[in-house]
Structure 1
Amino acid sequence: VLRGLGPERLIWGTDWPPSSRGLTYRQNLEIVRTIAGVGEKELELILGGNAARVFGI
């Protein structure tokens, strides 16, 4: 999905499968940081910047 859409079109959510296994928010975030394979700027977009833009906040 990341390669197909690009980081500017993704919004991270906590409803993905590992979240339902009782992981904490911090643990989920660390998994995303580890497997995303993107730079800090792209990660900031995915983890909040894109949502802020979409929702106008």
Structure 2
Amino acid sequence: MSRPPAPRRDAAPRTPDDGGAAGSERWKERSVWLRVFVYVFVTHLFAGFVMLLFYVGGGQ
């Protein structure tokens, strides 16, 4: 079985802002804002559903 090739020592390390790299800072920032928006929206939707349950259940 052959071993995988050793990494080149003269290769420069990739920086986060390589312009299209999967781990770029812009992509991370965008994903954080998307996640915050979804969490806030889902939380409000769930709170509205619970309030609706109290409204329907309290109408004796």
Higher-RCO chain (CA-CA 8 Å, sequence separation at least 6)? 1
Larger radius of gyration: 2
Normalising TM by the smaller chain, what interval? under 0.3
Q: Please state which structure has a larger fraction of its residues in helix.
A: 1
Q: What TM-score does the superposition give when structure 1 sets the normalisation length?
A: 0.26
